[in-house]
Structure 1
Amino acid sequence: MEIAKTIIPLLLTVSLGLLVIAAGIASSRGDFAYVISRPRLLAKALVAVMIVPTIVALVVILIFPMSHSAKAGIFLMAISPVPPLMPGRALKFGGSAGYVYGLQGAGAVLALVMVPLLGLVGASIYGVDAHFPVSVVARNIFIGLVVPLAIGLIVGRWVFPGVSPSVPRTITLIANVLLVLAFIPLLVAETPAIMALIGNGTVVAMAAVVVAGLLGGHILGGPELRDRSTLAFTAAIRHPGIALALAGANHAAKPVTAAVLLFLLVGLLVLVPYQMFLNRRLKRLSVGTQG
């Protein structure tokens, strides 16, 4: 059991790191600064990724009579951006590399400022004694994004320039396998706590936050479907690592971990119909172009 407690977090860290390394290898020069260097896109990203999910989270927490753990999990996930799982999904639906990776870079910068700020706002609204230290957010972004991204850029730009596109795809496949290997036992271990959270509108509230992110991103993404879907995925998929780190910084009870995992599961399920919608739209556009 002690070995499992050590191996599972390690697998999660390695798998998420590999996803970022793959993104670094596959990216081109300037991709990660694409959004930051464009104030209009940065403003839209701020609203869709940070503001909309947080506001909806604050509303559903007030409306639904959920447990304190469920409320904490929803709020922590709502303010935790920079999803490592986003690039693969966005690129699959035609997202441009500059916009996809640029949103990751912008998300990291926004998180350093907005996560502590929004956390303090939420704590003030609910009158709770909670802390959202910049150091916790910065450490997670540095370990989970900056370091693996630097490795990916070094490998893709200097060590093996012109590397085959199959290399980042293979790394992504390995990362997804490791992610499943880590997530399944974690999910099994937390299943009783997750089941205890279901009820009193918890699942509906979590789904509402995810849907708000999808709609906000889709509307603010611009006229192109590929840009709409890219921002929608970025706004809807949250980063459980940051949420759990913030929970740990506040000495949150174990059920908060279960709430974060439940939110992640609900989010992945909510994404299914949206991806089906995108597939249908892309097929229609493809037929229209051929005609």
Structure 2
Amino acid sequence: MDAKVLILLALKLAIAGTVFTYGLQANRDDLFYIVHRPGLLLRSLVGMLVAMPLLVVACVYFLSLPQATAVVLTALAISPIPPLLPKKHKKAGGIAPYGLGLLVVLALVSIITVPVSVAFFDWLFAIPRGLGPATIVKIVMSMIVAPFIAGLVVARLMPVVASRLGMPVRRIATLLLIAGGLVLLLGTWHAIWSTSSVATVAAIVAFIVAGLLIGHWLGGPAHEHASVLALSTASRHPAIALAISAANYPGEQFAPTLALYLILCTVLVIPYVKWQRGRSKRCSNVL
């Protein structure tokens, strides 16, 4: 088993563990929080699953991106799950019911949206499809839907066990994500700088900044909604993106581009989180 397989396995386990904890935490109030706000729900889905893929289409057409960059950005744009964001949502003044409710909806719709999006991009860019719909559905089921349903079942049947499982599973998932990300970064450090063109950096920065702006705007005037949607739109979990990219194009090297995205995303969201945290504190003081 080579390093690439181990990294992918660590990231897959990280997202499965993360989504499992979402299932453990989710309740009817979380789901109905966003369902009872259909305007916010529609804007959230449009921002994450429509606006960002269209942005990638524009980047691919106008920036003459290398194939690895185009594929990674495409995979990120259709990846529905943000990476361990509830804590970052809270720092930015977001509220848990909206964040968890959004994640529940995204986990459920991903079984349809991911295969459809992959087929659309393959058709649009006239790329021979390396993966059939059944394979893509299998990836989504194993990494998102099944862990989420498992979390819901455990929470429903064994609430005491669920309350004890949440924290350790979340910590393990976080460690796996950090470890996988660090190994990915260390293994591709030289390749990042040798293979990343100005167009690649510009496209990734545009993806992240546009995600923050689009999510913030579509989140509406309430900062607790805007911060959650902005961070969720700009930040996507690398596991699904890497799984789809690697399976669709097994001969390509996507790790350097994905590592560059993780670096830039980590850095670029910091000012936004600090700004929203300041806004949240000022609003609390006024109240």
TM-score when normalising by structure 2: 0.86
Deviation of 1:75 after TM superposition, in Å, equals 1.9
Alpha-carbon contact 2:92-2:274 (below 8 Å) kept: no
Separation in 2 of the partners of 1:199 and 1:28?
A: 45
1:276 aligns to what? Answer: 274
2:203 aligns to what? Answer: 205
Matched, 1:225 2:223: yes
Identity %: 30
Alpha-carbon contact 2:47-2:218 (below 8 Å) kept: yes
Alpha-carbon contact 1:57-1:75 (below 8 Å) kept: yes
Deviation string for 1:71-119 (max 9, x for gaps)? 2222221222222423332244343333212211222343333333333
Deviation string for 1:132-181 (max 9, x for gaps)? 643333223322223322333333333234965x8634432332123222
Amino acid at match of 1:204: A
Separation in 1 of the partners of 2:29 and 2:267?
A: 33
Q: Which runs of 5+ in 2 are unaligned?
A: none
Q: Map 1:172-187 onto structure 2 (within 5 A).
A: 172-187=170-185
Separation in 2 of the partners of 1:33 and 1:16?
A: 24
Q: Which runs of 5+ in 1 are unaligned?
A: none
Separation in 2 of the partners of 1:103 and 1:214?
A: 16
Separation in 2 of the partners of 1:284 and 1:38?
A: 26
1:146 aligns to what? Answer: 145
Deviates more, 1:201-210 or 1:155-164: 155-164
Separation in 2 of the partners of 1:34 and 1:141?
A: 25
Separation in 2 of the partners of 1:163 and 1:200?
A: 47
Distance 1:144 1:118, change over 3 A: closer
Partner SS, residue 100 of structure 1:
helix
Deviation of 1:232 after TM superposition, in Å, equals 1.3
Q: Map 1:94-109 onto structure 2 (within 5 A).
A: 94-109=93-108
Amino acid at match of 2:97: G
Aligned length: 287
Alpha-carbon contact 1:52-1:212 (below 8 Å) kept: no
Separation in 2 of the partners of 1:267 and 1:188?
A: 17
Q: Map 1:1-291 onto structure 2 (within 5 A).
A: 2=1, 4=3, 7-32=6-31, 34-35=33-34, 39-130=38-129, 133-161=132-160, 168-289=166-287
Deviation of 1:273 after TM superposition, in Å, equals 1.4
Amino acid at match of 1:145: I
Distance 1:43 1:29, change over 3 A: closer
Separation in 2 of the partners of 1:242 and 1:41?
A: 25
Separation in 2 of the partners of 1:82 and 1:142?
A: 13
Q: RMSD of aligned C-alpha atoms?
A: 2.7
Alpha-carbon contact 1:24-1:149 (below 8 Å) kept: yes
Deviation string for 1:181-203 (max 9, x for gaps)? 22212221222332233223211
Deviation of 1:236 after TM superposition, in Å, equals 1.2
Separation in 1 of the partners of 2:133 and 2:275?
A: 38
Separation in 2 of the partners of 1:276 and 1:95?
A: 12
Alpha-carbon contact 2:93-2:277 (below 8 Å) kept: no
